[in-house]
Amino acid sequence: MSVHNDTIFALATPNGRSGVAVIRVSGPAALKSLEYFLSEEDRKAIKPRFAYLASLFSPLIDRNVSHETSGKMIDKGLVIYFKAPNSFTGEDVIEFQLHGSPAVISELSRHLSQIEGYRPAERGEFTRRGFENGRMDLTEAEAVADLIDAETTAQKDQALSQMSGTLKNLYEGWAAELTKSLAFLEADLDFPDEDLPEGVAAQVLPKIQALKAEIEAHLNDNRRGERLRDGINIAVIGAPNAGKSSLVNALAQRDVAITSDFAGTTRDVLDVHLNIAGYPVILSDTAGLKPELLSGDAKNAQDYIESEGIKRAIKVAQQADIKLLVFEAHQPADEATKALIDEHSLIIHNKSDLADTHEDKNALYISVSENKGLGQLLAALEDKIKGLIGTSSAPTLTRERHRHQLQECMDSLDRALGAELPELMAEDIRLAVRALGRITGRVDVEDLLDLIFNEFCIGK
Ligand SMILES: Nc1nc2c(ncn2[C@@H]2O[C@H](COP(=O)(O)OP(=O)(O)O)[C@@H](O)[C@H]2O)c(=O)[nH]1
Ligand SMILES: [Mg+2]
């Protein structure tokens, strides 16, 4: 049964004009909306989980309109009834699919707010009710938000997998295993002696050790789930005039960054969001590296701003998941940029049109202005991204929140392994189970809920 007394409603589709608008109503009094807007005949014909075409009328009970306008048609559309508990929220839900007209939407919303016990929904409130009524755990609820925010296929796939319970099953499975060990320990707790009984040690310790290794492997995933959710940071770094901004524009396929022959055109870091082979990427254009500007005092405002830009460029380079190091093919390699070469960088020689030889085997030769080599560059980037994210289908944790609790769980298991008394071991295992329970939302999460569901839009 639902834990809420009030009935909420919201437009579930974007505001404004559209072909269809969906207005959702959820709560114990959801069916009352049918009494308000539908003829008795239509109301009686409605069955759960069947779409029913009906005319909606402004209710006679509406005191804010004159007598002539009550009973006037609001719109004609589909009505779907989801009977509790078989709905997204676990409560009675009515969905009105009407014409996506601002006038229709505002008229229906106004009437809904006048029904007793009805109020507009808050952000994520439908999903929150689904969680509170046991329709999904927290990781699945978080995945709903991720799915709605997903801009690329890889993000969508990850969200869908989490939404269908991959993380929940993993964490609940671990919690169940620990609970078994706990039961075993507790059965043995009456042992009077100080030492851990041998049977307990033999049964429980290997299990905890194995589980710890499994959690550790899950944590050591190179942050691939979080990277996929938040976007992969790629920094474009190089000397002034190497063609960094031109490259960013070419990859973005539009003029986002200003380019020119004047060294020092790009001052601040400029971020562009891209979709590379289904992966979300944040490409950062940066100021050209000029080591001399970083050392001495700035002589003028111009230099000061540029040196600030260079400091930022270096910071972006350090934090990036991947670096595109841009050199000029016809010039000696720039030392400051060369110093940044590592396993996370791609070496790019731009302006290949100006160079006679292409002899650096580790580099990609491109010419942005002649549109040469960009296909290879994209393919190389895709490989790097795949190397980073991995193509494994193992469940990935997608939030720092999960990571933090798993770390707590590991710490407790460590203590459990070192415990000398069964009581203490049991207590630490209990703490480890709690940490897992906080991820799925089974324990201690009241204070977290506002934070989690505020990420949502209204109507979800
Ligand atoms: N010849 C040639 N010139 C290029 C190429 N790519 C960029 N440029 C030019 O190099 C200059 C500097 O480019 P810009 O993108 O502003 O360099 P940044 O300072 O590294 O951002 C501009 O005049 C560009 O038109 C290229 O592939 N070949
Ligand atoms: Mg630039």
Bond preceding residue 395 cis, omega within 30 of 0: no
Domain 7-121 part of CATH 3.30.1360.120: yes
**Residue type for position 74:** I
DSSP state string for 7-55? EEEEE-SPSS-EEEEEEEEESTTTTHHHHHHS-HHHHHH--BT-EEEEE
- CATH assignment of 230-389? 3.40.50.300
Q: Which ligand 1 atom minimizes the distance to the CA of 244?
A: 20
For the 139-221+397-453 domain, the top CATH level (class) is mainly alpha
φ, ψ dihedrals at 438, nearest 5°? -70, -30
Distance 234 CA to ligand 1 centre (A): 19
Q: What's the confidence (pLDDT) of residue 296?
A: 61
Distance 246 CA to ligand 1 centre (A): 6
Distance 311 CA to ligand 2 centre (A): 15
User: Which residues, chain by chain, have CB under 5 Å from ion ligand 2?
Assistant: 244-245, 265-266
Distance 241 CA to ligand 2 centre (A): 7
Q: Which ligand 1 atom minimizes the distance to the CA of 240?
A: 19
Distance separating alpha carbons of residues 35 and 92, to the nearest angstrom: 14
Distance 103 CA to ligand 1 centre (A): 52
Q: Which ligand 1 atom minimizes the distance to the CA of 248?
A: 15
Tokens standing for 240? 């002034």
Q: What's the confidence (pLDDT) of residue 442?
A: 80
Which residue, by CA, sits nearest to atom 8 of ligand 1? 243
Q: What's the confidence (pLDDT) of residue 60?
A: 60
User: Residue ranges per domain, the chain?
Assistant: 7-121, 139-221+397-453, 230-389
pLDDT in tens, the chain (460 residues): 457 899 999 999 999 999 999 999 999 999 999 999 999 999 999 999 999 999 999 886 544 545 455 578 999 999 999 999 999 999 999 999 999 999 999 999 999 999 999 999 999 999 999 999 999 999 999 999 999 999 999 999 999 999 999 999 999 999 999 988 888 787 766 655 555 566 777 788 999 999 999 999 999 888 889 999 999 999 999 999 999 999 999 999 888 888 888 877 888 889 999 999 889 999 999 999 987 776 666 677 778 888 888 889 999 999 999 999 999 999 999 999 999 999 999 999 999 999 988 889 999 999 999 999 999 999 999 999 998 887 777 888 999 999 999 999 999 999 999 988 888 998 999 999 999 999 999 876 666 677 777 777 777 7
Q: What's the confidence (pLDDT) of residue 111?
A: 95
Q: Which ligand 1 atom minimizes the distance to the CA of 249?
A: 15
Name all residues whose Cβ lies below 6 A of ligand 1.
238, 240-246, 259-261, 265-266, 288, 350-351, 353-354, 367-369
